[in-house]
Amino acid sequence: MGSPRPAHRYLATLTWTLSSFFFLSPPTLASIQIQASGSWTVAVSPPGAAGRDVNESIESDALSMMLQIDQNPGGWLPNGKGWRVTVSRSGDWHPNLRLRIKRTTGGTPPGCLVGATDFLEVPDSDHPVEFFECNSQNEISSIGYQLQIQGVSVLVGPLNQTTLRFTVVEF
């Protein structure tokens, strides 16, 4: 009985900022790629009357952002069972703000994805969290996700920007 095979991390990562642009890392030798489409820019209006605060929770549209997982020539790892996507954030982000994410679709073809159907907090880049997984070696497109910002306040300040980092890990 051998020791369990370690998960292989691929450098196919995607960064996306809330200021409406995304960046796909340079090509690597990885056999898996992740791509994103869509954007979200948040503009918070000041409160209408003295003593009132702004809306403390703001959500993106449920289908405005999509992920796609593809394999390059060379395919998946031999005897691999599936893959998972982790997510983290980095950037100039006020500590009182909480960025949360959830998956809003099952992707195409359906039936493979598990997890993240409720909002989960996106941690800083030192502590990525599992977003969702696929228990097969399928390529999946049209994986919708939604973002939510909690803790919005006049005390937070006007300029906050973060980058989301999605990483595919094969197991």
DSSP letter for 108, please. B
* Domain total in the chain: 1
Of residues 127 and 161, the one with the higher pLDDT is 127
SS3 for 33-56, per residue?
A: EEEEECCCCCCCCCCCCCCCCCCC
Decide if 124 is inside a domain. yes
Tokens of 168: 């595919």
Res 17: pLDDT: 41
Decide if 46 is inside a domain. no
Domain residues for the domain of 22 are 8-40+56-170
Residues with Cβ within 8 Å of residue 60, at least 6 apart in sequence: 40, 146, 147, 148
Decide if 3 is inside a domain. no
pLDDT digits (tens, 9 = 90+) for 6-34: 444 433 334 444 433 334 444 334 467 78
CA 7 to chain centre: 20
pTM confidence score? 0.75
